[in-house]
Chain A
Amino acid sequence: MGILVYCEFENGRPRKTAAELLQKAVALGAGPVSALVIGDGDTSSLGANGAATVYQVSSPVLGSYSTGAWVKALAAGVKASGATTVLAAASSVGRDAFPRLSARLGAGLGVEVTDLRNDGGKVVGRRPVYGGKALVDVVINSAVGLFTVRPNSFPVGAANGGAAAVVAVDAGLSDADVDVKVVETLAPASKSVDLTEADRIVAGGRSLKSKEQFDAVLRPLAAVAKATVGASRAAVDAGYAGHSEQVGQTGQVVNPTLYIALGISGAIQHLAGMRTSRVIVAVNKDAEAPIFQYATYGIVGDLFEVAPLLQKELEKLG
C-alpha cells in the first residue's frame, strides 16, 4: 500500500527532487507516503515534506554509487515499505538503477514521466515519447509500479508536514555487491547544477562562431543568470562546448523553468530536448527561425549585442 519515494542526497542533504516527489506523492492521495534513503544523511526534512516513515539503508559500501549495491538496497527498501508505487527522480542514479530494479522485482517501470495522476486508486504516469512529439500514459499491470520522474515536473510548496519515524533496513550488503568500482572522480571545471535538473539554462548555438566567443559571451551571461550552460549539437560538433552540454534528442533532455536560447535555430532535434521548458526566451537575428514558434518571449536581434545587455540588466538585479 501507498507510495515510497526514493530520496537522493547530496553532501548529506536531500536534493530538491526529494521535496518535489514527496509533496506530489501526498497530493496524489494514493495511500501513506514514505521515503527511502540510501546511505547516511540528515533525514529531518523528509517528514516535513510529507513522509510518515523514512526507511534508511546504511552500509559502509554505500560511500559512492555502484549499481549493484544500490539496486540491492532499493529492492530491500521497497520490500520493507510494502509500497505499491515507487517514485524516483530521473537523475543519473534513477536512470541507471531503476530499470535493473524493475527486472529484479518483475515490477513495471514508467520512465521519464512528467506527470502523475491517481486513477481510481492506481497511480498512472504520463510521459513524452518521440522526442516530445507525442505524450502517452504509462499504466502499470504488476503488483508494484515504479516511476522515474523528470526533475522540475512538480512545484515545491511549503513543507508543513510532521516528523517521520525512521526505520533502519538491513539490505545485507557486503563488498561483493560493489560490482563496478569508481576509481577516479573528475570534477567539472566549474561546478554547476546538472543540465537535466537545472532550473535555468542559457544555451548557445553555431552562431557563437568559436569556442573563445562561446566562453567570452555565453558563459559569463549564464553565470550571472545563475544558469547552467547548454548548447546545440552544431555548437558541440564544432567544439565550442562539451558533449555533456548538448541539449536535444541526442543530448540531454532538460526541463527548466527558464531556457534562454541564443542563436539557436530550433531544429526538431533540439526542440526534442527542451520543449517542456516552462519559459523559453529566443534571441535570433532571423525573424523566421523556427525557435520563435516555441518561444514565450522572442527578440529578433544580434546575440553579440543582446547577450552583454542582458548580462548587465541581470547584474543590476543582483
Chain B
Amino acid sequence: MKVGVCLKQVPATDTRIRINGDATAILTDDVKFEINPYDEFALEEGLRLKQAGKATEVITFTLAGADADPRIRDGLARGADRAVRIDDPGLAGSDALGVARALAAALKAEGVGLVLCGRQAVDGDSGVVPAMVAELLGAAQVSWVDKLTIEGGSFTAQRAAGGGVREVVQGALPAVITCDKGLNEPRYATLPGIMKAKAKPIAVKKLGDLGLGGGDVGAGAVVVTHNNMGQPPARPAGRMIGGDAASAVSELVRLLRDEAKVI
C-alpha cells in the first residue's frame, strides 16, 4: 500500500505578521517557512508504517510554488521515498476546495491507499482540506488521531472526541487521517538522509496532468474569499494588582465579581 502525506509549508509560528496592501493576505517576502508542525506527525507516521512493513512507499504531496522545495527536501531527507508538487499558474487564487480538488486528483493518480494529513495548517488554522480530500476521494476520514494501527485493509484509530472523551474507531481503507500531537515524536533529518534526498525526485504536476481545469480550481472556481484582513483589536490596558499575596487575591476576586462580572 502506498501512503500519501500532505505536506504544507507555513510561516514559522513566531513570525511577525505584516498585511499586504489590499488586505487579503500577509506579506511573505522575509518570512521564514517551516513544515507545518502537524504535518511532521503525519510524515513520521508514514515512515513508521513503512518501517513496520505496512506501507510500500511514502510519497509527500504539496501544492505550492518552487519556494517550498527546501521543505519538501527536508521531508525526503527524513525518509519519504519521493515527492509530488502541484504547481500551475491556473491554481492562483484557489480556495480550500480548489486546493483539495488538486490534492485529491494527485493522490488518486498515485493510487494512494492511506492519506495522512496534519490536523490543521497553522497559517489559516482551518483544518478543512483533509475532510474535503476524503469526500472527493470517497474515502473514510478520521480527525485528530493520536494513535493509529493498520491491519490488512482496515484501520483502528484513537481520537479526542471532545469533552475529554476518547474514542477508538475502526474502518476500512482507503482513508484520510488527520494527525494530532501525541501520535509520535517526529524524527529530524540525518546527514546521510540529507545526502540521499538529493537523488530523490520531486515530480511537478500541472493541472493538465491531473485532468483538472479552470472550473475546478483557481480564482474562477472560488466559493470563499478572504478580505479586509487586519490586526486584532488591541486589548484594553490591564491592571496590575499590588500588595501582599493575600490582599492581592481578595482584590482580584472583588474585581472579577464586581467589575468584570465573570464569577
Q: Which residues of A contact B (CB under 8 A)?
A: 65, 67-68, 71, 91-93, 95-100, 102-104, 106-112, 126, 128-142, 179-188, 190-194, 196-197, 200, 225, 243-244, 246, 249-251, 253, 257-258, 268-269, 272, 275, 278-281, 292-302, 305-306, 309-310, 313-314, 317
Contacts and interface: CB of A to CB of B under 8 A. Distances in A.
Interface in B102-154: 122-132, 134-136, 140-144, 146
Contacts of B26: 130, 134
B190 interface: no
A194 B141 contact: no
- List the 9 closest pairs (A to B, CB-CB), nearest first: A188-B164, A108-B223, A92-B162, A99-B131, A99-B128, A103-B135, A243-B182, A184-B168, A180-B171
A141 B249 CA distance: 51
B196 interface: no
A192 B13 contact: no
A291 to B, nearest CB: 10
Given A99-B131, A186-B167, A272 B13 contact: yes
B132 A99 contact: yes
A100 B135 contact: yes
Given A298-B238, A298-B240, A108 B253 contact: no
Q: Is the interface of B mostly helix, strand, loop or mixed?
A: mixed
Given A180-B170, A275-B232, A302-B245, A185 B165 contact: yes
Contact of B227 (A71, A103, A139, A292): A139
A133 B232 contact: yes
Interface stretch (B61-69, B93-101, B200-208): B93-101
B259 to A, nearest CB: 9
A111 B128 contact: yes
Given A97-B131, A139-B224, A188-B163, 8 more contacts: A67-B140, A68-B140, A100-B134, A106-B223, A130-B125, A298-B240, A298-B241, A306-B245
A308 to B, nearest CB: 9
Contacts of A268: 13-14
B263 A243 contact: no
Contacts of A191: 163-164
B195 interface: no
B231 interface: yes
Interface in B158-206: 158, 160-172, 175, 180-182
B181 A65 contact: no
Contacts of A249: 13, 122, 125
B225 interface: yes
A293 B16 CA distance: 17
Nearest to A188: B164
Given A68-B140, A96-B141, A96-B143, A128 B164 contact: no
Contacts of A139: 224-227
Contacts of B92: none
Given A139-B227, A181-B170, A183-B169, A133 B134 contact: no
Contacts of B146: 243
Nearest to A259: B262
A295 B164 CA distance: 27
Contacts of B171: 179-181
A298 B9 CA distance: 37
B135 A186 contact: no
A222 B11 CA distance: 35
Contacts of A97: 131
A244 to B, nearest CB: 5
B228 interface: yes
A96 B181 contact: no
Interface string B223-263: 11111111110011011111001101110110111001011
B169 A180 contact: yes
Nearest to B36: A250
Nearest to B240: A298
12 contacts: A92-B162, A98-B131, A100-B135, A103-B131, A112-B125, A112-B126, A129-B123, A130-B123, A180-B169, A180-B170, A297-B260, A309-B249
